[in-house]
Homo-oligomer: A and B are copies of this chain.
């Protein structure tokens, strides 16, 4: 793709951490350029007003979002980094205007509107939902290539599904009774100030949250079922960890038979991801968040103990868990090598 035909990208919702991170990756991307940033009336102005780090690299200001303004940028792609519900109120008009969209919210992740409505709110764009492709490139690359609407996966689902899918598909573990004990760095909790995440409350503090009701739970189950064809049920338990970024899942599952060893699971993972540029199956080394920080990698390792299979999976919640994955999807959608601009 010659420079003259760079992908023109518009970002809607650039003031959150994932949007910020997307901007940084787009700046480095050899075949894409950021041509506009749009947001709500309450958050307008130069991008380096939100993030002083961006001064001298991004001259754009976040302007008031309207579908017409976005269309006027002659963008090839819209990255939609807005809250759920808002996203599906924007998508139809953008698609009407002929724009391809990668939506980072939950609005198009759950294929079944009834499941969506149970966890979120009434779904207002069933047509979009029917056409949306779940943007996990390791499993849906073909559909992503031609998609006009991609639902960028959640960070926890990416981390958990990449570890579990091959092992479930190979029938090495039971699809029921899986425990996913997950931790996230604090950028994953967003940029809204709260007492809970006030520095002196959060520093030196580790704690669980969202017991039994985290919205990433149905997304994990749906995706695993879609990939493996099995009815999967997981107990997903997230925790807040005092660090900026990083996510790690410690997953406990029942093997299907006594003969299942860690080596079997490792071999299965290695085969599954032999050609996946951003998944690293580790042996002799357990995943750690610092091994993936600032990268688009997901590191996975398999172990076995006390009659259970244990999977560890780590990624950077803002990259493989958000912006990096979005760019990986963009690359696929526009015929580029999946890894372009992502090292």
Interface residues of A (CB under 8 A from B): 17, 24, 27-28, 30, 52-53, 55-57, 177, 179, 181, 183, 185-187, 189, 191-195, 197-209, 211-212, 233-235, 237, 239, 241-246, 248, 250, 252, 277, 280, 282, 285-295, 297, 299, 303-308, 310, 312, 314, 343
Complex: A292 Cα to B195 Cα, angstroms: 18
**Smallest CB gap from A252: residue in B:** B179
16 contacts across the A-B interface (CB closer than 8 A): A52-B288, A53-B291, A55-B297, A179-B181, A179-B252, A181-B250, A186-B200, A197-B199, A198-B199, A204-B290, A205-B290, A206-B246, A207-B288, A207-B289, A209-B286, A211-B310
Residues of B with C-beta under 8 A to A292:
53
Residues of B with C-beta under 8 A to A198:
191-194, 197-199
| Min CB–CB distance A147 → chain B (angstroms) | 26
Contact of B193 with A55 in the complex, beta carbons under 8 Å = no
> Given A200-B186, A237-B310, A280-B55, are A287 and B207 also a contact pair (CB < 8 Å)?
yes
Q: Could you list 19 further interchain pairs (A-B, Cβ under 8 angstroms) beyond the known A205-B290, A235-B305?
A: A28-B343, A52-B285, A52-B299, A53-B294, A55-B291, A55-B297, A56-B280, A177-B307, A191-B200, A193-B198, A197-B199, A199-B199, A200-B244, A204-B289, A205-B243, A207-B286, A211-B286, A234-B306, A242-B243
Q: What is the count of identical protomers in the complex?
A: 4
Residues of B with C-beta under 8 A to A239:
183, 248, 250
**Smallest CB gap from A17: residue in B:** B200
> Given A235-B252, A306-B234, A310-B237, are A245 and B204 also a contact pair (CB < 8 Å)?
yes
Contact of B27 with A343 in the complex, beta carbons under 8 Å = yes
Contact of B204 with A204 in the complex, beta carbons under 8 Å = yes
| Min CB–CB distance A225 → chain B (angstroms) | 15
Residues of B with C-beta under 8 A to A242:
199, 203, 241-243
Residues of B with C-beta under 8 A to A305:
211-212, 235, 237
> Given A28-B28, A252-B235, A304-B212, are A206 and B241 also a contact pair (CB < 8 Å)?
yes
Residues of B with C-beta under 8 A to A280:
55-56
Contact of B208 with A286 in the complex, beta carbons under 8 Å = yes
8 Å CB contact of A308 from B179, B194, B286:
B179
Instruction: Report, nearest first, the 9 A-B pairs whose CB atoms are least far apart.
Output: A212-B305, A207-B288, A205-B290, A235-B306, A181-B181, A199-B202, A52-B291, A193-B193, A186-B199
